[in-house]
Amino acid sequence: MGKKKVIQKSEESSKEKEGAVASGKSQSARQRIENGRVYIQASYNNTIITVTDDKGNVMVWLSAGSMGFSGPKKSTPFAGSKVAEAIVEKIERTGPVNVQIFLRGVGKGRDAAVRSLAAKGLNITSIRDVTPIPHNGPRPAKVRRV
């Protein structure tokens, strides 16, 4: 077994180590972010919600598939609302209070997600639909010669 060594720590060295640990924490852990963006991507197969700060740095994201929904249940309004509720729980301490919402896609979960975010107490400053819209499409096939 051997003898146990007891090391006496001085107060100065313990304070230096605590200061080093405190300065190594991320910025989001130290202060609360007031403004942010919420991106809701609602496809026919899944609903993904991403929360970022004003600069675009991702703070947290969550999808219906990662919450345990599988198959066609991932794209339902119920799954979209549950994902939004879980996102709000994750960002309660550090996350933004005032958010801009950017909607993308045509899935069923997009409206339910926005309603859940509003019901959970986030202050929604704007809602924008950034769904990509095709304009003129691809070049048509050449005329067939028989």
Supply 69's token pair: 């929904």
- Digit-coded pLDDT (tens) for 39-86: 999 999 999 999 999 999 999 999 999 999 999 999 999 999 999 999
Reported confidence tier of residue 15, pLDDT bands at 50, 70, 90:
low
Is a pLDDT exceeding 90 seen at residue 37?
yes
CATH architecture for the domain at 35-129: 2-Layer Sandwich (3.30)
Q: Parse the chain into domains and list their residue ranges.
A: 35-129
User: What is the distance between the alpha carbons of residues 15 and 52, in angstroms, rounded to a whole number?
Assistant: 34
Give the burial string for 19-50 (b: 16+ CB within 10 Å, else e): eeeeeeeeebeeeebeebbbbbbbbeebbbbb
